[in-house]
Amino acid sequence: MTDYSGLKALFIGCTLKKSPETSHTEILMANAQAIMDKQGVSTDLIRLVDHDVAFGVYPDMTKKGWKHDDWPALWERVSAADILVVGTPIWLGEESSVCRMLIERLYAQSGQTNDKGQYVFYGKAGGCVVTGNEDGIKHVSMSVLYALQHIGYTIPPQADCGWIGEAGPGPSYGDEMDEGEGHVGFDNEFTKRNTTVMAWNLMHMASMLKQAGGLPATGNSRKAWDDGARFDHPNPEYR
């Protein structure tokens, strides 16, 4: 057993359905959340579509003509988390439109820096949960995890998990089977294994980053670069 009680994890569900309608993606995310809860991690869940989040790539879209924007308040919860897990269904082979909006709003914060002058997401770990009834778990994870690492999240090994049913309309993850035989997807060994591994690797990575004080600032400080430092590059013209 490992105690990770000093960590905070935020799960953001990007279903298109408002509460209280069931989100199958959140059912799968709850398994990863339960693993972290058991290890003492303080976990939190946001269903993004339940909030009035404006579209855009600025931290507060009310300054860009929108009358209301819940993102600044949600950002406080994102900023406080050591681990971010993005959950999305698959639609037409891609992440949901809500997930893409989330990525855009995260990107809006990427100009902010931490006390080392690094981008504000440095020192945090990111992962992805995907569900659907069509192929695309790895494709969607590729897109989401690329975006997270680009803005500064550290992506550990096996940082994604998912479940898909048969192609076309059909039962979704967590639906009750006929005659009380259980729930769809709960017996899928591949999904159970990857969900478990993802949860543990996110905790391991976030803990290592936190104990190390984040990533060293040598060579990656935006502040140092803006102040004129070009680090120790062998080509004088590149400095």
Which is more confident, 97 or 179? Answer: 97
Helices (H), 39-171: 71-80, 97-108, 137-151
- Look at residue 215 and tell me whether its pLDDT is greater than 90: yes
Residue 227 has what pLDDT?
81
Q: Model confidence at 230, in pLDDT bands (50, 70, 90)?
A: low
Q: What are the pLDDT digits (tens) for 138-188?
A: 999 999 999 999 999 999 999 999 999 888 778 888 888 876 778 887 888
CA dist 98 and 108 (Å) reads 15
Nearest to 46 by CA among 100, 97, 95, 102: 102
Q: What are the pLDDT digits (tens) for 112-143?
A: 999 999 999 999 999 999 999 878 899 999 99
- Look at residue 239 and tell me whether its pLDDT is greater than 70: no
Supply 120's token pair. Answer: 């504000």
Q: What are the pLDDT digits (tens) for 24-66?
A: 999 999 999 999 999 999 999 999 999 999 999 999 999 999 9
Fold of domain 8-238: Rossmann fold (3.40.50)
